[in-house]
Amino acid sequence: EVQLVESGGGLVKPGGSLRLSCAASGFTFRNAWMSWVRQAPGKGVEWVGRIKSETDGGTVDYTAPVEGRFTISREESKNMLYLQMNSLKTEDTAVYYCTTLMYYSYPDNWGQGTLVTVSS
Amino acid sequence: EIVLTQSPATLSLSPGEGATLSCRASQSVASYLAWYQQKPGQTPRLLIYDTSHRATGIPARFSGSGSGTDFTLTVSSLEPEDFAVYFCQQRSLWPFTFGHGTRLEIK
């Protein structure tokens, strides 16, 4: 059974940093394309970025709102996915989900999410 | 980026009725469109991918159709557990985008 468990969320001031982690199990992590998506309270879902599998080169695509501030990485030896968030803004407040991707592009397994609140 | 517009914003129906939800893209996404269901307090669940293919475990009462810029999710006969928010998502062009959702509520 696929399991994705996020951690690391919390309250941070504008301009601060936070690192989210996602522990993956139940599938071959090194072959999986992964993503981070987010959902602001009461709002729709928004892409943060996706990372290719190690076997496909491990490169990352970001969306414009986070490009240059957020970094997605993966650690194959630990089956871990990370999201380093710097220069946080109030508009980054959301629940952040780690997902696997079907066809490199459809989130098909989701973690339970971790809440990030950016507020002074 | 491709903008997905969902309509209606809210749909009020009774169990047993059929539901038709719409998703319109600002430019063609070919057949690269998916639908998700999100119940209160839960994570989104993939229902339909590439326009018309049901994901694993999704009941046959859910079906998808369309191509290019206009897509439809149909629920043939609503069960009580179907009342939720539904999102569409395109994978034709990065950045992939989601629609803002249609809330399907009990009338």
pLDDT at A108 over 90: yes
Say yes or no: B23 contacts chain A, CB-CB below 8 A.
no
Binned at pLDDT 50, 70 and 90, residue A42 comes out as confident
* Least CB–CB distance from A63: residue in B55, B95, B100: B95
Pairing status of strand B10-13 against strand B102-106: parallel
Q: Find where tokens 């517009």 sit.
A: B5
CB contacts of B57 in chain A (<8 Å) are none
Asked if residues B15 and B78 have their Cβ atoms less than 8 Å apart, the reply is: yes
- Chain B positions touching A47 (Cβ under 8 A) are 95-98
pLDDT the model gives residue B68 = 97
Query: Which 8-state DSSP code applies to residue B93?
Result: S
The alpha carbon of residue A16 is apart from the nearest alpha carbon of chain B, in Å, by 26
Angstrom distance (rounded) from CA B11 to CA B19: 8
* Cα-to-chain-centroid distance, residue A82: 6
pLDDT tens-digit series, residues B24-44: 999 999 999 999 999 998 999
Report the pLDDT averaged over residues A14-32. 97
pLDDT in tens, A54-86: 989 999 999 999 999 999 999 999 999 999 999
The whole-number mean pLDDT for each consecutive block of 10 residues of chain B, a chain of 107 residues, reads 97 97 98 97 95 97 98 97 97 96 96
Distances (CA, A) of A6 to A79, B9, B54, B62: 12, 31, 27, 30
